[in-house]
Structure 1
Amino acid sequence: MWLHAKHLRMESSSELVAEGKLIGETTYPQRAAKWQELDLGIAKIDFFDPKTHTVHEVKKSNKKEDAHRAQVKYYLYLLEKMGVENPRGVLEYPKLRITEAVEWDGETDKEIVERWLGEAQAILQGSCPKKLPKTKCKKCSYFDFCWSGEE
C-alpha cells in the first residue's frame, strides 16, 4: 500500500496480476458485453452491473480470505459515497466454483471502512514500513521489488 501510494506500481509487470486478469476474462467471457469496468479514480472495479448496482470481484485464489471481502466492501463504500443506492457485492472463486454475496450494512460497514482508511492514512504518513515475512509476500506483485538480491 505504501509503495502504491508513492506511485511505485508493479501491476503492469506482475505475472500474478496478469494471471488474475486472464482468469476473469476466460472464466466469464460474456461479461464484457453485459457489464462494464468502472474506474472510480482511486479504484477500478472489473465488473459492475449498473442495473442492480452489483460489484462482481473475481479471485484466482483457491481459498476465501477476509481481505477479499474487505476489498469489495471498500468498493461498496466508494459507490455509496458517489450516490449509488443499495450497492451490492459478489465474490467469485472460479477455482473453487463458489460465489459469495458480500453484504453492505450501511452505517456499520461505513464505520468499519472509515476506520480502515484511518489506519491506512497513519501508515502512509510514516516512512516505508518494514517488509513482511517472505511467506506472506510470495503472491504480491511487489515481491521482486522488495526481495530481489536477498536469499
Structure 2
Amino acid sequence: MSEPAQPVLTGGCQCGAVRFALSAAPSKISICHCRMCQKASGAPFASFAEIRNEHFTWTRGKPAAYQSSSIAMRDFCSACGAPLSFRRIGSSKIEIMTGAFDRPDRVVPTLQFGTESRLGWVGTIVNLPSKTTLQSYGPENMSQITSYQHPDHD
C-alpha cells in the first residue's frame, strides 16, 4: 500500500473552518474583471486557479454555496464569509480564489476575462505610493494587534 501523495498546494478560508488541497498543479490561473466577480469578491477583480475535480478536495469542513447565476455556484465559508471558489454547474473543474491559497505567490495569473468591466485605474495601481503594514501602523501599534486569522498551513 502506498502513501498518499503530498498536496501540491493547500489553502483555506480566513478562520480555518474550511481547508482544501490540490494533488496537481492548476491548469489555468486567471483574473476576472466581470461585474459578478467584482461583487462576489468585494474587490476590483477576482483571481482564480482552475483545477480538475479529481485533483481537488476539501480537507476540513465544507463550504456553503450560493448560486450566483443560472450557470454557476460560488463557495464561501459560512463562519467567516471568505469567498473560496467559482464552479460552473455540472463542470469537471473548480476554480479556487487565489487569495485563499496558503502560498498565493505560487498561483500567478496568465490571462484575464471580463475586461469590459475592468476598472480604469487597475492598470496604474503599481505606481501608487505604498507602505508595508509595519510602516502604516508602526511597531508600537503592531505589537498590540492580535490576528484571529488561521495561519497559512495546517
TM-score by length of 1: 0.29
Name the structure with the higher helix share: 1
Work out which structure has the larger RCO, using CA pairs closer than 8 Å and 6 or more positions apart in sequence.
2
Greater strand percent: which structure? Answer: 2
TM-score of the aligned structures, taking structure 2 as reference length: 0.28
